[in-house]
């Protein structure tokens, strides 16, 4: 998961969208697993460095995971929306 997480954290937007595009309803459990790993990584970094930006992004991931687990949302589009909101 670390390679994909690195793309999501520091890759260009087109690479993030390309990676997010592989997630569909059929494999959303894979995305949930990736999000769990990402949450652990970000939480550790945010706490150690007291990084407010990472804490705010962690909140977005937690919210997206909650939506993903409780609805039939398109997982790839949910990730894309999360990336776009970073620039707003």
Residue 63 CB neighbours (<10 A): 12
* Region of poorest pLDDT, from 5-14, 32-41, 51-60: 51-60
**Which residue is listed with tokens 């999501």?**
8
Residue count of the chain: 88
d(CA 21, CA 37): 19
Predicted TM-score (pTM) of this structure: 0.88
pLDDT of residue 8: 94
pLDDT surpassing 80 at residue 79: yes
């Amino acid at each position: 998961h670390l390679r994909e997480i690195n793309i999501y954290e520091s890759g260009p937007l087109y690479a993030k969208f390309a990676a997010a595009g592989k997630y569909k309803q059929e494999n959303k459990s894979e995305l949930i697993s990736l999000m769990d790993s990402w949450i652990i990584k970000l939480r550790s970094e945010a706490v150690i460095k007291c990084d407010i930006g990472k804490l705010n992004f962690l909140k977005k991931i937690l919210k997206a995971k909650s939506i993903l687990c409780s609805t039939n949302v398109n997982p790839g589009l949910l990730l894309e929306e999360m990336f776009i909101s970073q620039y707003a």
